[in-house]
Amino acid sequence: MGRRKVEIKRIQDKNCRQVAFCKRRKGLLKKAKEISVLCDVDVAVVIISNRGRLHEFSSNNSLTGMLQRYESHVGAEKEINAEIQVAEFSNHFEVSGFTTMGELLQTTERQLEETNADGLTVTDLIHLENELQTALIHLRARKTHLMLESAKVLHEKEKLLQEEKKHLEDNIASIKKNTKVNEMSDLPAPHMICGQQKVTLNFF
C-alpha cells in the first residue's frame, strides 16, 4: 500500500522499521476498532514493541482486564516471576502458581533441561499434575451437572406454562360457546360469551 511493494519480512533498516511500526500500529488498532464496531464483536489487540512498550486496543472490559493482567506480567519481571513461581512451586507445592497443563509441562521441560537443578523431581510434577487434573474433573462434572439441571428446570417451567395457557384458552372457548351475545354487550370482546349451556371443560 505504498509507493512500492514491500516483502513481508523483517525490515532491515532500523529507522524504516520504526516508521513502519508507527504507521502500521496505528492502522492495526484502527482496524481493530472498526471491526469491533461494524461487526459487533469483542476484539483485543496487544502490541509490544521490541523496546518493551505496550500498545493495545480492547473493545471490552473483560478483555481489558486480560490485557492489564498481561501487562503486569510483561517485561523483565516476567522472567523473575517465572523463576519465583518455580521456586515456590518446588518448595511448597503451591497449586495456585500453575494455571495450565502447558505451564506445568513447560516447567517440567525446563527442569529436565537444566540438568536437575534443585529439588523438583518429575515425580513431584506428576503428583501435582494429577491433583490438578482431579480438581478439574470435579469442577467440570459439577458444572455440567448444574447446567443440565438448570436446563431441565427451565424446560419443565415452560411445559407447565404451556399447559396452563391451554387450559385458560379452553376455558374461554367453552364460555364463548355457551353464552348469549346480548348479555355481553359491554365486553371488549363480544365473541367471548357465557351462555346457558353446560360448560364443558376438557382439561385433562
Indicate the burial class of 52 (C-beta count within 10 angstroms; 0-12, 13-18, 19 or more).
Answer: exposed
- Residue 21 to residue 10: CA distance in whole angstroms: 11
- Decide: is 54 part of the binding site for DNA (CB under 7 A): no
Minimum CB separation of residue 166 from DNA in Å reads 34
- Decide: is 59 part of the binding site for DNA (CB under 7 A): no
Minimum CB separation of residue 113 from a second copy in Å reads 9
- Decide: is 135 part of the binding site for a second copy (CB under 8 A): no
Nearer to a second copy, 50 or 115 (CB): 50
Other Cβ atoms less than 10 A from the Cβ of 63: the count is 18
Nearer to a second copy, 105 or 118 (CB): 105
- Decide: is 24 part of the binding site for DNA (CB under 7 A): yes
Indicate the burial class of 140 (C-beta count within 10 angstroms; 0-12, 13-18, 19 or more).
Answer: exposed
Residues listed for the chain: 204
- Residues between 74 and 113 with contacts to a second copy, criterion CB under 8 A: 74, 76, 78-80, 83-84, 86-91, 93, 99-103, 105-106, 108-109, 112
- Residues between 166 and 195 with contacts to DNA, criterion CB under 7 A: none
Among 51, 100, 99, smallest CA distance to 76 is for 51
Question: What three-state secondary structure class fits 124?
Answer: helix
Q: Which of 9, 10, 12, 18 binds DNA (CB under 7 A)?
A: 18
